[in-house]
Every structure is written in structure tokens, then in C-alpha cells.
Amino acid sequence: MKHRYWASYLLAALAFLPLDHVITAQVLATESVFQVAQAKSAYTQYMQLGYNETRRRNYRKALGYFQQAERVRPGDRYATAAIRNITGYIQRGSSRNRIAFVPGRPGRVRSAGTRGNCFQTGQFLIPLTPTDKEAQRTTAEHPTFFFYIPQTSVPVQALEFVLQDDDNSDPVYKETFKPAGQTGIVSVGLPANQPSLQIGKEYTWTFSMICDPRNRDKDSYVEGKIVRSQDENLSLQLKQPSTDLDRAVLFATAGFWEDSLRTLANLRRQRPNDPEVQKYWEDLLNSVDIKEVVNKPLLPCCTAQK
């Protein structure tokens, strides 16, 4: 849209130039628009080819295409994320690791945000996110958040999830849930009747375990950020015939952690005894150093309290 605007502006200005200058300017303006369109076409082609080879698990070919896309658009976040993750596949050995995720800003602080004494010694509430230093990316209008709850030293009275728009003091979504009653992985999905995440806007989420409702300072909690993004080339590739495992790999390659994790979690629920699904799940979590939860059960949680 921006390029079309400037092209129109240049052509409008031609009326005030001598004829020979007008002809030259027309040629330059036309060439400029053509070059922009040509670059966009080349970028799209390379990204599509890269995603297609990723779906086929031809990671070295995919890397070459993504690198060419990045040369057309230096610093492009989608090409950069794909290069980073595909390189991760290759370095780990694609024969052993079928899926991997490499955060743009690595680093996890497991105990950050835990104020209370809900847990036994050495146990922590763990969010299933790759890093605490960057926003988790998703394509979903209503994403799902996953948390591992270990053994507690005192009974948990309730779980609370809050999603906050960073530009608004009122929560986008706030709900209290009944505790799962056992250790394992719980998930909280943003309900379909809630406002959709806006593209490009960052949101802050907080997940709390309430051990003493009379003293919320004893809560154990974790927090992070999420942002909804849209990759047109990924969307086109996802429309091609593919399995859910293919989709999980594509999401991870493109840098969409929430989508990849959610896809594999759904597969684990549907096919709990499938060793291939379990292998993908383990590889994804191991790639971001969440090894201690790979064999933990997915709990049927959470039900909103009245």
C-alpha cells in the first residue's frame, strides 16, 4: 500500500516537469514499482519453497531457501526465525530430533514470580514457554496456555489466570479455576466468547496458584507475554495437504511456539499411546530445556469456578 501511494505521488508530480523530464521520471517510477513487486514475488517464492521443504523434512534445502528470502528482505523476522530454527534442526541432527525451537532471546528463570510457599522444597510452577525474555508468538485469535503443576506442600485452593492488554488497566480475561487435584500439565484457553487478540499487540498473562485466599502474597505465580502475528506464507503452506505433525513442525520453524505446542498437546490427548507423537513432544520441549515435564500427564483442567 505504501509503495503504491508513493508511485501515485510521483506520477502526480510529473505534470509540473518538462516533457523530457516527465518521460524519464515515468520510467523511473514504473521501474521502482516493478522492482518492489519483483522483490516481493521473490521473497514469497523463497519462503514458500522453504516451508515446503521443511514439511518434507529436507532441512538443508529449506535453509538455503530461507537464506535467499532473507537476502531479499534483510532482517525480515519470519525469514530470520525460520533460519534460526532450521539451523537448530541441523545442529541437533535431524535424524534424532524431528522438531526443535530456538528462541530469539534465550533464557529461562524458573522460580521468578514465585512468592509463596505452596510447594515442597525444590519444586516450582513451570510455564511451558521457551523463554521469559520475549513474547510468545501465536497465530491464534484465542490461544492456549500450558503450565506444569508439581506436588504442593499445602492444598491448593484455586488457580487464577489473567490476560492483560498492556495498554489497558482492565483485564482482557480473568478467571478462577478449580485445582486439578494432582500433579501434571494444565491448560487454559482463551474462550471463543472473549475478544480476539489483536495482531501486533503484546499482552501480559499471569497464572497463579492460590494457597491462602486470605493472603494472596502467598500465591505462587508465573507471568509472561504473548503477541499474535500473521505470516501469510505460512498460512498458504498450511492450506496444503499435511498431517498435524507436519503442521507442528511448520509452526515451530516459523517461530510460533504456542501453535506448535498446542498442536502436539492435542495430538497427545487424541493418541496417548502413539510413540511418534510422544517423540515429537519430547523433542520440542527438550529443545527449550523443559526436560522435566516431557512425561507428565495432560490434566483435564480447567473448569471455571462459579
Which domains does the chain carry? 2-92 (1.25.40), 126-293 (2.60.40.10)
Average pLDDT of the chain is 82
Nearest to 118 by CA among 183, 177, 169: 183
Q: What pTM was computed for the model?
A: 0.82
Q: What angle do CA 206, 253, 262 make, to 5 degrees?
A: 40
The dihedral over CA atoms of 78, 106, 151, 294, expressed in degrees to the nearest 10, equals 60
Lowest mean pLDDT among 53-57, 117-121, 223-227: 117-121
Is the pLDDT at 281 greater than 70? The verdict is yes
Whether residue 30 is predicted with pLDDT greater than 50 in this model: the reply is no
Whether the predicted pLDDT of 34 surpasses 50? no
Q: Which residue has the higher pLDDT, 54 or 303?
A: 54
Residue 280 pLDDT class (50, 70, 90 cuts)? very high
Confidence band, pLDDT 50/70/90 cuts, at residue 25:
very low
